[in-house]
Amino acid sequence: MTVVKRKIGTLEVHPIGLGCMNLSHAYGPAQEHDDAIAFLRKAIDIGYDFLDTATIYGMGGNEKLLGEALKGRRSKVVLASKCVMGFKDGKRLLDARPEAIKSACEASLGRLQTDVIDLYYMHRPDPKVPIEESVGALADLVGQGKIRMIGLSEMSADTVRRAHAVHPISAIQSEYSLMTRNPEIAVLDVCHALGITFVPFSPVGRGYLADEPLDPSGYKEGDLRLTFPRFTDPHFSANLGLLDKARQHAADLGCTTAQLALAWTLAQDKGAVPIPGTTNLKHMEDNFNAASIVLPAEVLATLNDEFSPEAISGPRYSAPAQASVTTERFAFE
């Protein structure tokens, strides 16, 4: 099957991108430096051409990895990073003031060893700063040639419309998978209406839909899933029946469960570019090849029914994490 590229703004990319966060933090200890560089270069050799990082990942360390890995290969990829969620003196901070955004961009350009960032997101909304002011700063960066496109992450449809009125938004990033379908409330609709590419993160359900079973007792120190209700009991165990159904569908189709999840995401929005992350080379190759899998209509319909939002046990975020996003929630959440 010939894989058709998808568009982000005026740029074309493979339907599956690579989320790079896992190399530095989130689901366990950071990868060894040389292993991470080799992993990223292998991804590019395989054909990944859309790489996603952020200021906060590894407190700048993730951007540094990409900057090193992309030496001599920068023209082969569309490079995305994020601002607003930053760090100072080893502590996280949230700052969407125009001057903070411009300062963060300069720092990211240096760590990434590039003259321009193709897609630069606001990582989270900042309740202290009107979205119009923040996007105005990003528009200035576009005008200065320091970034090519503007993106938003984990924001409501109303916020997206307000931002788009200041400067065209090229991409919206939100969590989206069989396990988390909140973008279907309004974000997908606003993306379609305004011609914005939807970029789902955690399309494999933060590993819940991977083939190797997760074990809550085996999470390493610092694993973010320790703070997410769905990844600890009683919700973790309550959702295992759904995982069994997904695995059976995958077995029937001759693909991995992760590939099934990615193929479902691609089918839900014909323009979406999911960005699964992994530190496993085989999983990385499997994810890339999921772009060639077309799910039969009856399987899609069954998955949509089995994984209805009401069928998932537990909220996706803890209360503090939920307070940091404005993505719409279902009435029953």
Active site residues: 57
Residues forming beta bridges with residue 274, ordered by sequence position: none
**Rounded distance, CA 319 to CA 321, Å?**
6
Q: Confirm if 256 and 211 have CB atoms less than 8 A apart.
A: yes
**The amino acid at 123:** H
DSSP letters along 201-248, please?
ESTTGGGTTSSSPP-GGGPPTT-GGGGSGGGSTTHHHHTHHHHHHHHH
62-74 in b/e form (b: 16+ CB < 10 A) is bbbbbbbbbeeeb
Closest CA to 11 of 135, 116, 112: 116
**The amino acid at 78:** V
